[in-house]
Amino acid sequence: MEPLERFESVEHVVDRFRAFEYVMTEQAATVVYLATRLQKPVLVEGPAGVGKTELAKTLASCSDRRLVRLQCYEGQDDTKALYEWDYGKQLLYTQLLRERIDTLLSGTTELAQAAERLRGQEDVFFSEHFLVERPLLEAIRSPEPTVLLIDEIDRADEQLEALMLEVLAEFQVTIPELGTLSARTQPWVIITSNTTRDVSEALKRRCLHLSLGYPSAERELDILRIKVPDVGEELLRKVVEVVRAVRQLDLRKAPSISEALDWARALTLLNVPSLDREVIEETISLIIKYDKDVERVQHELPRLLGIIDTAAPPTAHAHEQGDHHHGHTHPTSEEEAYHRHAQGYFGAIRSDSK
């Protein structure tokens, strides 16, 4: 199939992504649509596991473009991100071609003449041939259109960010040995960041900004439904409710969508018909990754169970509410109240509210 040239509209983006099992908010879709229209990179920020990387992967697969991925890490430099000049290969060529060079130069009497003749062959020694393409260069030199994913840019050093500026704004790379290589096809660029540090102003200015957060109950249920289709609606809804309630607790690492997915999948494998105290206790480690957090959740378990029993279903469909005849004490307001209380001291309010 031909790579997708462009999206027709925001709805088109939503539909394509949905066909590839990615449920996106209209906001995200608008930004993706704009990015592809304006040829701008998108900087996606948000907590781990809310689908930032997945967004890029899905963009690639739903537009039939090749995904080129640059995983950032501390201490990464241009030779790992952009390109490397393969001196070894160059040397080897020179060595192996020595005899040929001798024959080429035979018959010349003067040094200047030899140099002239050699100059005619310079391309052999300085060509893209000796260029080892790293992801950034690969993405813009690729003959077929690509999606370039620069993953977790906050892990990379700031120098690397500066290096990317030329690539991201102009889609070109300047190589001292060869000159400026410009893009054969303009890649769609997705940059993700977990905001462990602030990405530099210069980079942000060149990007469209999208912050992904935890999804609404409805969207999360939607995601689970698509990704884990063989689980009963009832169970999925409870999973969503519990995960959302756990997120409200003051944890070191709140569970995100990926954890919710893992959990739902695990529950299918275990063939669990419904969530009860025992099941939650046994499988809670799938969504909670720190011991202290587990303790905290165990402590709050009775309240969480209460949520499952009494919560109104997050969807608006009336028929799904059938077996819930309890009063609707929706958890949200209660939890907010709890949080306000836990703030402790006056000075905390400002920092926590962000």
Partner 1 sequence: MDAPILRFVGLLRQRGVRISPAETLDALRGLDAVSLARRESVKTALRATLIKEGRDEPVFDDLFEAFFSVDDRRRAGGHDHDHDHDHDEDEPAPPTQVKVSEEPPDFDDPSHSHELPADIAKYFDDDQLATAKRLHKDGTRIDLGGLSQELILGERKEDIEQAVAQLRHILHLRRLTNPGAPGKLALDGGEVVDADLTVGSVDHLPSLPPGSMLDEAQVEALRRQVDGVIANLPELLRRYLEKLMALERPAHSKEASPAYTAAFSEEERRRMDALLRRLGRELKGALSARRMTAARGRIHASRTIRANMRYGGLPFRPVLVAKRQDRPRLILLVDVSLSVRNTARFTIHLVHSLQSLFSQVRTFAFVSDLVDVTPYLERCELDEALGMIFGGEVLDIDANSNYGHALATFHREHLSAVNRRTTVLVLGDGRGNGNPPHVWVLDDIRRRARQLVWLTPEPERYWHLGRSDLPAYAELCDRVELVRDLDQLEAVAGSVLRPL
* C-beta closer to partner 1: residue 87 or 106: 87
Residue from 64, 79, 121, 276 binding partner 1 (CB under 8 A)? 79
The residue with tokens 């690492």 is 253
Question: Which 196-225 residues touch partner 1, going by CB under 8 A?
Answer: 198, 201, 204-205, 207-211
Half-sphere exposure of 208 (CA within 13 A, CB side): 21
- The number of angstroms, rounded, from the C-alpha of 296 to the middle of its chain's C-alpha atoms is 30
Q: Does 10 bind partner 1 (CB under 8 A)?
A: yes
Q: Does 318 bind partner 1 (CB under 8 A)?
A: no
Q: Does 302 bind partner 1 (CB under 8 A)?
A: no
Other beta carbons within 10 angstroms of residue 225's beta carbon come to 17
Query: Would you give the DSSP letter of residue 154?
Result: G
End-to-end CA distance of the chain: 45
Residue from 26, 144, 281, 336 binding partner 1 (CB under 8 A)? 26
* C-beta closer to partner 1: residue 10 or 101: 10
Relative to beta strand 131-133, strand 83-85 is: antiparallel
Contact code string over 89-108 relative to partner 1, x by CB under 8 A: --xx----------------
**Token pair in block for residue 33:** 């649509």
Residue from 120, 143, 179, 347 binding partner 1 (CB under 8 A)? 347
Cβ(257)–Cβ(49) below 8 Å:
yes
Three-class secondary structure of residue 175 per DSSP: strand
Q: Give the C-alpha separation, 304 to 241, whole Å.
A: 9
Question: Which 28-47 residues touch partner 1, going by CB under 8 A?
Answer: 30-31, 33-34, 37-38, 40, 42-43, 45
Binding residues (CB under 8 A) for partner 1: these are: 9-10, 26-27, 30-31, 33-34, 37-38, 40, 42-43, 45, 77-79, 87-88, 91-92, 195, 198, 201, 204-205, 207-211, 345-347, 350-351, 354
